[in-house]
């Protein structure tokens, strides 16, 4: 058997995958012509039938429509249209990919539904410009940390911040962490785990890691428990925030904002004709206080006293700057 005869069934499969679907078919004559034009292979109509029957016996979903000229089309796809749309939406809003990387990946995904439906998959997301200066480096860091998590190894790294000249400033000390999982808050990606020094819960924003983290030989302190997951999933729970149960008095006009932030299961009670109470666990971070402040008095911190007093002090500090 010559090499063309060995390759011909593979070329036929490729042609049917790329140029047919359940609504578009190719005749025996058309298949013969494509094999000649694109691959330089001369073949007979009976040979096409034999090759396709062999592919069918091998399990490929190729439908044959018998007529004066037999028609063939490829029916099986690894993903249906809805699944591809879901993947495309996820890629469209990904902050870990550059615009060029998103476009390339979306083009590859569109090919999975066949040539005639790609136009139906156009997604119309506007993606805000990624604030991370190097998405490729971010992806490499994620891969290194993910490998460490799978191998249950500790990681060592330095972090950086930006100074007023927008130049990175390295941290003095290296951090050692037992990483457990990644967490995304809609804007940034974090790795969450346990710190080496105090064995406390430690978070780290991925794009603030300097260089590549070192994957250590030392086994990670793997004590994954519900507290760690609760810490990461608590609203405003990152950035070293202490988790506290708070009570808020909220204007009736802000129920949508409360549900958007805490979910439909958030505990609420009637307060008066103009407001309601919210009881929820939050991370009492600067982000939480900024969120409360942004509603210009329509959200009041009621309990506990330590959180209320801390918020009142921040408001006084902000007011004091108006006279300087």
> 9-62: per-residue pLDDT in tens?
999 999 998 888 888 889 999 999 999 999 988 888 889 989 999 999 998 888
For residue 276, how many other CB atoms are within 10 A of its CB? 17
pLDDT at 288: 86
Q: What are phi and psi of 179, to 5 degrees?
A: -75, 145
Question: pLDDT tens digits, residue range 283-324?
Answer: 787 888 888 999 988 999 999 999 999 888 888 888 888 766
- What class does CATH assign to 243-323? alpha beta
Q: Which CATH architecture group holds 3-74?
A: Orthogonal Bundle (1.10)
**Low-confidence spans in the chain with pLDDT less than 50:** none
Q: Is the dihedral of CA 142, 146, 149, 153 positive or negative?
A: negative
């Amino acid at each position: 058997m010559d090499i063309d005869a060995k390759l011909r069934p593979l070329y036929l499969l490729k042609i049917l995958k790329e140029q047919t679907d359940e609504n578009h078919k190719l005749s025996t004559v058309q298949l013969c012509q494509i094999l000649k034009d694109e691959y330089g292979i001369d073949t007979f109509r009976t040979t096409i039938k034999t090759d396709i029957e062999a592919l069918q016996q091998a399990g490929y979903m190729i439908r044959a429509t018998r007529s004066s000229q037999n028609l063939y089309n490829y029916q099986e796809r690894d993903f249906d249209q809805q699944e591809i749309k879901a993947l495309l939406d996820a890629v469209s809003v990904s902050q870990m990919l550059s615009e060029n990387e998103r476009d390339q990946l979306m083009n590859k995904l569109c090919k999975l539904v066949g040539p005639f439906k790609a136009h139906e998959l156009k997604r119309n997301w506007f993606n805000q410009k990624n604030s991370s200066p190097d998405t490729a480096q971010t992806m490499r860091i994620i891969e290194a940390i993910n490998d460490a998590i799978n191998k249950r190894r500790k990681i060592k790294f330095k972090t950086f911040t930006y100074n007023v000249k927008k130049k990175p400033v390295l941290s003095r000390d290296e951090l050692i962490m037992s990483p457990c999982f990644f967490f995304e808050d809609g804007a940034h990606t974090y790795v969450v785990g346990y710190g080496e020094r105090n064995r406390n819960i430690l978070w780290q924003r991925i794009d603030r890691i300097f260089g590549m983290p070192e994957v250590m030989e030392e086994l990670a302190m793997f004590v994954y428990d519900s507290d760690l997951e609760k810490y990461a999933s608590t609203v405003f729970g990152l950035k070293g925030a202490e988790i506290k149960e708070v009570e808020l008095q909220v204007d009736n006009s802000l129920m949508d904002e409360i549900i958007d932030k805490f979910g439909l299961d958030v505990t609420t009670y009637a307060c008066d004709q103009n407001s309601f109470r919210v009881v929820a666990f939050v991370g009492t971070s600067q982000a939480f206080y900024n969120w409360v402040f942004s509603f210009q008095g329509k959200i009041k911190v009621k309990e506990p006293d330590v959180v209320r007093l801390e918020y009142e002090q921040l408001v006084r500090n902000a007011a004091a700057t108006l006279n300087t």
